[in-house]
Amino acid sequence: MNMKTDELDKLVRFRRDVHQSPELGFEEHETSRKVREYLDSLGVEYVSGLGKTGIVAKIVGTGAQSDASVGLRADMDALPLEEKSGVEYASTNSGCMHACGHDGHTTMLLGAVEHLQANNDFSGSVYCVFQPAEEGVGGGKAMVDDGLFDRFSIREIYGLHNWPALPVGRFGLIAGPIMAGGDRVDITIHGKGGHGGLNPHGCVDPIRIAAELIHKAHTIVSREVDPLSPAVLSICAIHSGDLSGFAVIPNTAQLCGTIRALSDEARETVRSGLKRLCESLEHYYGAKIELSIEDKFDVTFNEAGATQTAKDVITQCFGERALERDYKPSMGGEDFAYMLAVCPGAYIHVGSGDDDHPYGLHNPQYDFNDKVIPYGVELLSKLARESLDKQNAKG
């Protein structure tokens, strides 16, 4: 696919417009409106309001009648960050920015919609899923729960994500787990405060307990999880007391962190170890420790057949060297996992790194690399056609 300059310019303008007005999960009302307007301009039918602010567009091929169908998914939400990229189209919504490239993903899927609508000589149906709330608030699950696969006969589904760790023109893809399952961990230690100099012996010091908890929690993976099964437990934040109260032992300490694993077994081992640790410290110190483990996303699991289809498309479109060899899964999370748990499919990392875009995902200086747009549009468009062709060949 050779994208014309005016076609690319149109998509870049759309992407930067969305970038300038980012919205958090389930609040993508303006973004959703812009997507609907784009679809209306193409004459593409769609259903909106799925999973609150999600959209599903449908393109029916003009070829022989067929029940074959495929889904293409992009996420739309932004992150609660103050943008520091310095670009002229930077966020105008204070404390909110597209720091993960979902503005680019939405744009590439719209580009694929436009291409497939104009070149609809295929047999079957393509469903284009614009998903809200990917950033840890369950938009993928919300769409599934709202009937994504009941209301639309999607037989196979594909998603992609820009990946700054890979150079532009390279793609990362493996069968099986490609992104980790993950939890949010919140811990509150209720102790007994007092004077740090006068009567520390009469206190139940939550900071002392927190220090021991953090130290021991970070040994759970190394001593309780099979070393051949990747897992991570990180305590990432702690709050207790006040820096101006240099002699005040506080009553409570709050901790927050995350669990990540590439298998449900390893994930449950870490959860169990953390629960036992909190219970033992609670009894030993005479404190009360509240532990909350919130399931954020499942393991993102690529089905073997869909993965091979994606690999075939990548090598056909971009050459053998475009496919990264010996690719490794990421311990990041992705709630596209909830769709892949219901429908076979694959998730693909699309290289977006170059000298002009040195910042990684979730960085306040990050900006999506517009050079990736033609790659994403071609990949999504060809994935849809290849999936339908394979389904039709099987009969």
The answer to whether 218 is annotated as binding is: no
Give tens-digit pLDDT for 106-162.
999 999 999 999 999 999 999 999 999 999 999 999 999 999 999 999 999 999 999
The answer to whether 236 is annotated as binding is: no
**pLDDT band per the 50, 70, 90 thresholds, residue 3:** confident
Range 275-302 burial, b when 16+ CB lie within 10 A, else e: eebbeebbeebebebebebeebbbbbbb
Is the pLDDT confidence value at 395 over 80? no
Q: So what's the pLDDT on residue 269? A: 98
Is the pLDDT confidence value at 71 over 90? yes
Give tens-digit pLDDT for 337-372.
999 999 999 999 999 999 999 999 999 999 999 999
Q: So what's the pLDDT on residue 11? A: 98
**pLDDT band per the 50, 70, 90 thresholds, residue 2:** confident
Tokens of 394: 């099987």
Question: Minimal CA–CA distance to 271: which of 292, 241, 246?
Answer: 292
Give tens-digit pLDDT for 149-193.
999 999 999 999 999 999 999 999 999 999 999 999 999 999 999
**pLDDT band per the 50, 70, 90 thresholds, residue 99:** very high
- Alpha carbon distance, N-terminus to C-terminus of the chain: 28
Is the pLDDT confidence value at 1 over 80? no
Average pLDDT, the chain: 97
Give tens-digit pLDDT for 260-292.
999 999 999 999 999 999 999 999 999 999 999
Do residues 115 and 377 make contact, with C-beta atoms less than 8 angstroms apart? Answer: yes
- Percent of the chain at pLDDT above 90? 98
Is the pLDDT confidence value at 394 over 80? yes
CATH-assigned architecture of domain 181-297: 2-Layer Sandwich (3.30)
Task: Please state the pTM of the whole predicted model.
Answer: 0.94
The answer to whether 128 is annotated as binding is: no
The answer to whether 135 is annotated as binding is: yes
The answer to whether 278 is annotated as binding is: no
3-state secondary structure of 19: helix
Residue 186: count of CB within 10 angstroms of its CB: 15
Sign for the pseudo-dihedral over CA of 358, 363, 365, 371: positive
With tokens 């700054």, the residue in question is 164
Give domain 5-179+299-394's CATH number out of 3.40.50.720, 3.90.1150.10, 3.10.310.30, 3.40.630.10: 3.40.630.10
3-state secondary structure of 323: strand
Domain boundaries, the chain: 5-179+299-394, 181-297
Phi, psi of 56 (to 5 degrees): -125, 115
